[in-house]
Amino acid sequence: MIVAIIPAHNEGQSIQGTIASLLHQTHSPDRILVVSDNSTDNTVEIARAAGADVMESVDNTHRKAGALNQALEVVAAMNPRHVMVMDADTQLAPRFIEIALERLRDPKMGAVGAVFGGVDPEGYLQYMQRLEWARYAEQIERTDQTFVLSGTAALIRWDAMEAVKDHFGRYYDLGSITEDMRLTLDLKTVGYRLCSPVECESTTEMMPSVKLLFLQRRRWYLGALQNVTAYGFTRVSAPYWRQQLMLCLSVGLMSLYLTLTALSLVFGWFALNPFWLAVGAVFAVERTVTVWKLGWKARFTAVLVFPELIYALILQSAFVAAVHQHLTGQTGSWHHVEVEEGTPVNV
């Protein structure tokens, strides 16, 4: 038995499409449960009309993780074999569950996550997100490693969820603002492997403005910092500590590069160096190859380097802000905002 759980807060604009993508799977879930978490719009009515069961969270003050935990307590009585956890603004490729079930035949495979992409991008910022996510999918395909079990969609073995609860005393960590990453660490800690086949695609919303992108990534970065700090240094958390160190290094190198470039222009030191031109060429080739599948526009954008350099500065500024929040003890928060045509987006 597969039970799909969709936590939703004011998702009336998107919930019908999300449910439809589950109903149109080649292997559909046996039940679809929408968890309306303090919704004030028509999420509940639309979800029921679309064919889902609906429950409403009770006195939940712990965001998505709290809503999911309440739903999982209800689902436990159904004795499921797998649970499908997905965002309310996400749609799945038709064979997602079918392919995930094939991978879950391995008893040590705890969950199968999505390789996510965005809707058709509008403008520079969303196109940069498309390239970023395409590279992430390429990395997963090349390394066969799942760094984070995507919160957009994941099919999880129920025994694995129970193992997490037995070990930690809960399903999702209520203190984490990036509950998907924390669950990833938890599942690996209790001995399960994870995967994200490229065929298990999901389509989700992209941030339409610099402000929303900044807020989203600041939360992601802060959540990662909180998770690795809470975990300490273990065999499971070691790669995540390395990621944070590499992010710090990249920010430092970018700052040094921009500072030295500005000084060279001001004082007339600037000159083209064959060695650094060669290094830049190798970098441009790598950026181009990793988005090759997206076509000529993506290749042209990548080889120019500078459009993505500007985007990288936005992401790095969000990381610096997250580090500041973490060092000053700020817990961070979700931001539920309205974008074009009233469509809600959680960042």
At 341 the pLDDT is: 44
At 251 the pLDDT is: 95
At 340 the pLDDT is: 47
pLDDT in tens, 176-188: 999 999 999 999 9
Copy the structure tokens of residue 281: 């060429």
Q: Are 148 and 176 in contact (CB under 8 A)?
A: no
Q: Coil, strand, or helix at residue 281?
A: helix
At 219 the pLDDT is: 95
At 325 the pLDDT is: 96
At 120 the pLDDT is: 86
The tens-digit pLDDT sequence of the chain (347 residues) is 999 999 999 999 999 999 999 999 999 999 999 999 999 999 999 999 999 999 999 999 998 999 999 999 999 999 999 999 999 999 999 999 999 999 999 999 999 999 988 888 999 999 999 999 999 999 998 888 899 999 999 999 999 999 999 999 999 999 999 999 999 999 999 999 999 999 999 999 899 999 999 999 999 999 999 999 999 999 999 999 999 999 999 999 999 888 988 888 888 887 777 877 887 888 889 999 999 999 999 999 999 999 999 999 999 999 999 999 999 998 876 555 554 444 455 55
At 345 the pLDDT is: 53
- What are the sequence ranges of the domains in the chain? 2-206, 208-333
At 230 the pLDDT is: 95
Q: How far, in Å, are 179, 244, 319 from residue 239 at the CA level?
A: 18, 9, 18
The model scores a pTM over 0.85 = yes
- In the sheet that 193-195 helps form, which strands lie side by side, from edge to edge? 53-56, 31-36, 2-8, 82-86, 153-157, 109-113, 193-195
Q: Tell which CATH classification among 3.40.190.10, 3.30.1330.20, 2.60.40.420, 3.90.550.10 matches the domain 2-206.
A: 3.90.550.10
Q: What is the largest CA-CA distance in the chain?
A: 73
Percentage helix, strand, coil, to 5, in the chain? 55, 15, 30
